[in-house]
Amino acid sequence: MQCTCNAKGDLVEIGQRYTAFVAGMRCLATADWVKLLQCAGCGQLWRTDEWDKYLTLYARKLDSPEGWESAEMETLIKLRMVENHGGLDTSACLAKDCKQRVLKGRAYCVDHFYETGTRA
């Protein structure tokens, strides 16, 4: 199996390809619904979500194993959610007192949509 870590971005959606993504990795540690993996080919470290068939799963490149469990993912996932929805619409979010613009095709801003547990 050939390593493709260099061709991947800092945040990779892995839900549909979870088995293929983790196939060339060594598990270095596990925590609450997350794993620290290392590519057997190039040594790249990845913080990955644990498999769950109901959620959108992500992997994030790490420079170091230090603090891997708490590596910031929310900001990157929210940026990806905006991309996945084609940007923001002109309407205001329906959440009480929120003035942010909604995701295209949605009634809520990215922050409130994220709070529902949605990561796509």
Q: Which helix (H) or strand (E) holds 23?
A: helix 18-23
* Predicted confidence (pLDDT) per residue in 84-94, tens digit: 999 999 999 99
Question: pLDDT at position 14, please?
Answer: 94
Q: Fill in the DSSP letter of residue 57.
A: -
Its pTM stands at 0.86
* Predicted confidence (pLDDT) per residue in 44-71, tens digit: 999 999 988 888 999 999 999 999 999 9
Q: Kindly state the average pLDDT of the residues 3-13.
A: 93
Long-range pairs for 12-18: beta carbons < 8 A, 24 or more residues apart = 12/58, 12/59, 12/60, 13/56, 13/57, 13/58, 13/80, 14/48, 14/49, 14/57, 14/58, 14/59, 15/55, 15/56, 15/57, 18/51, 18/57
